[in-house]
Structure 1
Amino acid sequence: VVEEKLTEFDLWKQANKPSCYLSGGNKRKLSVAIAMIGDPPIVILDEPSA
């Protein structure tokens, strides 16, 4: 599941980096990818375009 989400959110190249070293955009993508694990029926995003 994790490998699938890394590929889906184009985070594969950053897979071995601690999250504190990711750019702001990649941190947001990582947060959404984590939220999508487990195939939730709904995900609420707060200010997704900010």
Structure 2
Amino acid sequence: MINPFRYFNSSPEVIRLTVMMYIRYPLSLRQVEDLLSERGIDIC
């Protein structure tokens, strides 16, 4: 099975958390980025 995260620099856990927040809550990507930065996760 091919790893779906092979082209990303972030860990799979961070990617899953970001996608979950974006889908679960009515947030923009900028708001998700702000929430992650408050948790100390830098995705840029």
Shorter-chain TM band: 0.3 to 0.5
Quick one: higher RCO (CA 8 Å, sep 6+), 1 or 2? Answer: 1
TM-score, reference length from structure 2? 0.39
